[in-house]
Structure 1
Amino acid sequence: MTTTTSTTAPLTPPAPRTGRRGRPRWAPWAATLWALGYGLTALGWTLTGDGYPIDPADPNSTMALLGDVPADAGAPLFAAVALAAAGTGAVMARYRPGAPVPHWWRRFAVGFGGSLAVVLLVVVPTTRLLALLGYLPMIVFRAPFDAEIRADVAEQLGVDYLHQFVALIGGFLWAAATVAYARRTAGSCVRCGRPDRSGRVAAVRRWGRTATYVAAAIPALYAGTRLLWAGGVSMGMSERQMDEMASDGALQGALWLGAFALVGTVLTLGLVQRWGEAFPRWVPVLGGRAVPVRLAVVPATLVAVLVTSGGLGMVKASLVEGVFDAEDWAAFGPALLWPAWGVALGWGTLAYWLRRRARCTDCGLG
Structure 2
Amino acid sequence: MHAPVALLVSALWAFLHLGLAVGHLLGLGVAPWVDAESSALHGLAPAAVARLVGVLAVLVLAALGVALPGSPTRARTASWVLLAVGALTTLVVADVRSLTLLGYLPMVVLALLGVEPFASQAVGIPGPSLLSLSHSVGGLGLLLTGLAMHARLRPLLPAATRRLGRWSVGVAVAVPLAYASTRVAWALGIPLGIRREFLIELGDAKYAGLGLGLFAILGALLTLGLVQRWGERFWSWLPLIGGRPVPVSLAVVPALFVAMSVVSAGISFARIILGGSLERLPGEPADWGAWAPELLWIPWGIALGVAALAYRARRQGWEEPRMRD
**TM-score bin (small chain):** 0.7 to 0.9
CA drift at 1:328: 0.3
CA drift at 1:265: 1.6
Determine the structure 2 residue equivalent to 1:179: 147
> Which residues of structure 1 form unaligned runs of 5+?
1-22
Determine the structure 1 residue equivalent to 2:17: 38
Determine the structure 2 residue equivalent to 1:219: 176
Contact 2:6 / 2:141 at 8 angstroms: preserved in 1?
Answer: yes
AA in 1 matched with 2:162: R
Contact 1:135 / 1:257 at 8 angstroms: preserved in 2?
Answer: yes
Determine the structure 1 residue equivalent to 2:264: 309
2:49 to 52, 63, 74: 74
Identity of aligned residues (%): 35
Once residues 242 and 4 of structure 2 are traced to their aligned partners in structure 1, the CA distance between those partners, rounded to angstroms, is: 37
Going from structure 1 to structure 2, the CA distance change for 1:207 and 1:83 (only over 3 Å counts) comes to same
Determine the structure 2 residue equivalent to 1:238: 195
Greater shift, 209-218 or 84-93, is seen at: 84-93
* Matches for 1:33-182 after TM superposition, within 5 Å: 34-48=13-27, 51-56=30-35, 61-96=36-71, 101=73, 108-145=77-114, 149=119, 152-154=122-124, 156-158=125-127, 160-182=128-150
Once residues 206 and 285 of structure 1 are traced to their aligned partners in structure 2, the CA distance between those partners, rounded to angstroms, is: 34
Going from structure 1 to structure 2, the CA distance change for 1:166 and 1:232 (only over 3 Å counts) comes to closer
Once residues 24 and 95 of structure 1 are traced to their aligned partners in structure 2, the CA distance between those partners, rounded to angstroms, is: 17
Once residues 42 and 142 of structure 1 are traced to their aligned partners in structure 2, the CA distance between those partners, rounded to angstroms, is: 34
Once residues 258 and 238 of structure 1 are traced to their aligned partners in structure 2, the CA distance between those partners, rounded to angstroms, is: 19
Once residues 228 and 264 of structure 2 are traced to their aligned partners in structure 1, the CA distance between those partners, rounded to angstroms, is: 27
1:290 to 234, 239, 245: 245
Contact 1:33 / 1:86 at 8 angstroms: preserved in 2?
Answer: no
Once residues 36 and 229 of structure 1 are traced to their aligned partners in structure 2, the CA distance between those partners, rounded to angstroms, is: 44
Determine the structure 2 residue equivalent to 1:331: 290
CA drift at 1:269: 1.3
2:150 counterpart of 1:207 = no
Corresponding residue pairs, total? 315
Contact 2:67 / 2:75 at 8 angstroms: preserved in 1?
Answer: no
Q: What do residues 91-132 of structure 1 show as CA deviations (whole Å, max 9, x unaligned)?
A: 1222145xxx3xxx6775333221100122222222222122
Greater shift, 27-36 or 349-358, is seen at: 27-36
Task: Give 1 or 2 for the bigger CA radius of gyration.
Answer: 1
AA in 2 matched with 1:272: V
Once residues 320 and 127 of structure 1 are traced to their aligned partners in structure 2, the CA distance between those partners, rounded to angstroms, is: 16
